[in-house]
Structure 1
Amino acid sequence: MTGTVLVTYGSTNGSTERIAEAVADVLRSRGGLAVEVLPARSVGSVAPYDAVVAGGGLYTGHWHRDARRFLHRHRRDLAERPLWLFSSGPLDPSASERDIEPVPGVRKAMARLDARGHTTFGGCLEEGAKGWIARMILRSGRGGDFRDFTAVEAWAADVAGELRKTRAHVPQ
């Protein structure tokens, strides 16, 4: 692999975006890779990228709409390159305590696109969040920041390692 990695995300309130940026930072620093971070809705083509990491916030058991549409819109090209997926969303410490299976739609996309891996990170919902459901959750006292950036960095380092191996086997 000699080109650029795309890290893309679907996020409503910025929590998943921040995780995507942390993944990109690790790919750059530990993988020595060129990385571009873009919102899923703004990706016109994945053709310029040699690998893709895509993330989506979880909302009522579904990936963020922009992330779902990204996978559908670019499915042919994504199936031809290394792809990793991540989800963010549980508003409790469960994602740091155990592996959480991907939601059904993500699991189907993983199989269809031959994704190399998936993980779920805790989410973040804090005052000022958009949407009436988010405000209801906050009013009930169930918000907070459950992102574990040590876990994000470890997962991204594993992805970087896989990409380094891929790059080592490609003639320069």
Structure 2
Amino acid sequence: MTGRVLVTYGTKHGSTAHIAESIADTLREEGLTVETMRAASVPFVSRYDAVVVGGGLYAGRWHRDARTFIRRHHDDLAERPVWLFSSGPLDASAAERNLPPVRTVRRVMRDLHARGHVTFGGCLEEDADGWPARRIVRAGRGGDFRDFDAVRAWASGIAAELKE
């Protein structure tokens, strides 16, 4: 496939955006044409041949912008290859084992026949906005648990499938 790939995401603090950019960079390095955009900013998906959708996890729920994106573009997404990713565990669990998707993402995977899903570790730094985020950091449960080698490896797998 030599078409266009959209990598889109919903994020609160920016960690998921960095993962999305890493995925997009890897796909570009593999020779694909890629556009990266916040999920709330995507007007349509009909111009893309494949879509990667990511959402940060907050209290066990996928980010609202990712959920809204899926609802808004469901019919077009059902006509093209789709991969999903989540980010958010503030511990090493995502690096240690394959974490199952949350309920909403499982439903999306089934409805869209998504080709895959992965959960990456999250990141919550000291300068995070919002009372809940600051409380988590003050309790010593913040940090950066993203594994960009795993992100690039997953994206390379997507590229391989798309180039078949």
1:152 equivalenced with 2:160 (yes/no): no
- Residues 73-132 of structure 1, C-alpha deviation per residue, up to 9 Å, x if partnerless? 000000000000000000000100000000000000110111000000000000111221
Q: Which residue pairs with 1:13 in the alignment?
A: 13
Superposed CA RMSD: 0.6
Q: Which amino acid aligns with 2:33?
A: A
Residue 35 of structure 1 deviates from its aligned partner by: 0.1
- The residue that corresponds to 1:25 in the other structure is 25
Equivalents in 2 of 1:71, 1:130: separation in Å?
26
Which residue number in structure 2 is paired with residue 125 of structure 1?
A: 124
CA distance in 2, matches of 1:20, 1:100: 18
Counterpart amino acid of 1:73? R
Q: State the distance in 2 between where 1:132 and 1:162 align.
A: 42
TM-score relative to the length of structure 1: 0.94
Q: Secondary structure at the match of 2:127?
A: coil
Q: Does 1:114 pair with 2:151?
A: no
Q: Does 1:92 align with 2:91?
A: yes
2:72, 2:134 → 1: CA distance? Answer: 31
Note the C-alpha offset of 1:5: 0.2
Q: Secondary structure at the residue paired with 1:68?
A: helix
How far apart in 2 are the matches of 1:57 and 1:115? 18
Q: Kindly report structure 1 stretches of 4+ aligned residues shifted beyond 4 Å.
A: none
Secondary structure class of the residue paired with 1:71: helix
What letter matches 1:104 in structure 2?
R
Mapped to 1, the partners of 2:159 and 2:96 lie a distance apart of: 23
Percentage identity across aligned positions? 66
Q: Secondary structure at the match of 1:152?
A: helix
Contact 2:2 2:163 in 1 (8 A): no
Aligned-pair distance for 1:3? 1.7
Aligned-pair CA distance for 1:2: 3.0
